Structure 1
């Protein structure tokens, strides 16, 4: 069963600097939602605040849907909400094998059947048994990002936070990873919150998106409206002009 995500009045401060100002956002169960904006707009900080890596000065984060849902900050919440980081080179421990990284995640959350789960999740991301005992330096950038996705998926989360998951990859590999994410969402009923500066990537993977600037919402619109250039804010039009070769992928 899919679950959604709701953010209300979110503020994130670092000393005297406010990185996110009273942000409100609701993502339906099973939806893929994008956050876009220039560098420094606060979009990645929102993801970090959701999973506890950035301080909440005010506001609340909660999961939505049927049944009893875990509270933010709890171990159950951290299992239900997993993050895939931008840099596949920096997000994996260089001295751990793929097997060790996946097994460690299971051990932290006291989840059994490690052998079966590791084999299954590697198959799910398109990496066979031969990759299980390799180190990160023995993998390509695309393979490393697949491992990062597998590490998130092995805990069977309901929500994936995707922080520029393809920006460090070559264009052809980007398409492969995006197609993989799209398939996994459909198969597993996942809810996505994705950050990207690439409008073509966001409109390919997301149904709706929020444009952010200086830690605030500029506007929220359907991805289809962005493709048709039916936007309200001048800032959004500026982003579209700045996004060279903005074409939605087929």
Structure 2
């Protein structure tokens, strides 16, 4: 049985002639312990998929099933114990006037966890920061450190599924690999299931066993990592994405 099953997902903003169909009949499933990628250019709807799964964007059609059970709307507190999201921008996702201790303690208080101090220190250790960061403010941290705090906040409720919305795109290239390797390690240690959104095919090839290619709110093509690495795409859009990910060459620059 799939850990996460998305069937015929639709999201529409607005009404009548001004309606924007952000998602149109998107379907895929993610197995327990799998890392599943969603790729596409800006505006393709890939981040909207994650927001619809976690209830931040209202669905206009389709179903989302978690571990065999259809999810209710709005999502109940038990859902957020099992599914957490890491957002793209670590500068915007942390409250600038809250210490890291408060950032991590709030979800524990909301969900009634005990041993809060131990859980906070353990979460910081797991993401490679340590308890010395506990009473710092976000402005005292680098971008990579802030994203590690965001990951710690997501993990502190001991979820089974992480929704990762371009988790490294706002970071310097030198820091991206560190965060991706951290996520890889945590998935292996905790048996987590990931849904990773990215515009970077290299990131998806590194992190994900399977992926879905999206364009204009539609699922264009599903691929395995092996097919992606061997350039065995069947759709022109996917082939164009793969070509674009290779970047420019000197031969492409006019003299």
Runs of 4+ in 1 over 6 A off after TM superposition: none
Counterpart in the other structure of 2:60: 57
Aligned partners of 1:99 and 1:70: how far apart in 2? 34
CA contact (8 A) 1:92 1:148 kept: yes
> 1:206-233: CA deviations, max 9, x gaps?
0000000000011001011111101110
CA contact (8 A) 2:2 2:30 kept: no
- Out of 104, 107, 112, the position equivalent to 2:106 is 104
Q: C-alpha displacement at 1:188, in angstroms?
A: 0.3
Aligned in 2, Cα 1:43/1:36: closer, same or farther, shift over 3 Å? same
Counterpart in the other structure of 1:81: 83
Q: C-alpha displacement at 1:64, in angstroms?
A: 1.9
Would you say how many aligned residue pairs link Structure 1 and Structure 2? 242
CA contact (8 A) 2:64 2:70 kept: no
Q: Please, what is the CA RMSD of the aligned residues?
A: 1.5
Unaligned runs of 5+ in 2: 249-255
Does 1:93 pair with 2:95?
Answer: yes
Aligned partners of 1:237 and 1:71: how far apart in 2? 35
CA contact (8 A) 1:36 1:195 kept: yes
Counterpart in the other structure of 1:31: 34
CA contact (8 A) 1:5 1:27 kept: yes
CA contact (8 A) 1:13 1:20 kept: yes
- Out of 47, 56, 59, the position equivalent to 2:50 is 47
Aligned partners of 1:209 and 1:245: how far apart in 2? 21
CA contact (8 A) 1:70 1:76 kept: no
Aligned partners of 1:3 and 1:126: how far apart in 2? 31
CA contact (8 A) 2:39 2:214 kept: yes
CA contact (8 A) 1:94 1:136 kept: yes
Counterpart in the other structure of 1:4: 3
SS of residue paired to 2:128: coil
Counterpart in the other structure of 2:170: 168
SS of residue paired to 2:97: coil
Counterpart in the other structure of 2:127: 125
TM-score scaled by length of structure 2: 0.92
Q: C-alpha displacement at 1:155, in angstroms?
A: 0.4
Task: Look at both structures and tell me which one has the larger radius of gyration over its CA atoms.
Answer: 2
Aligned partners of 2:97 and 2:114: how far apart in 1? 24
SS of residue paired to 1:83: strand
Counterpart in the other structure of 1:198: 200
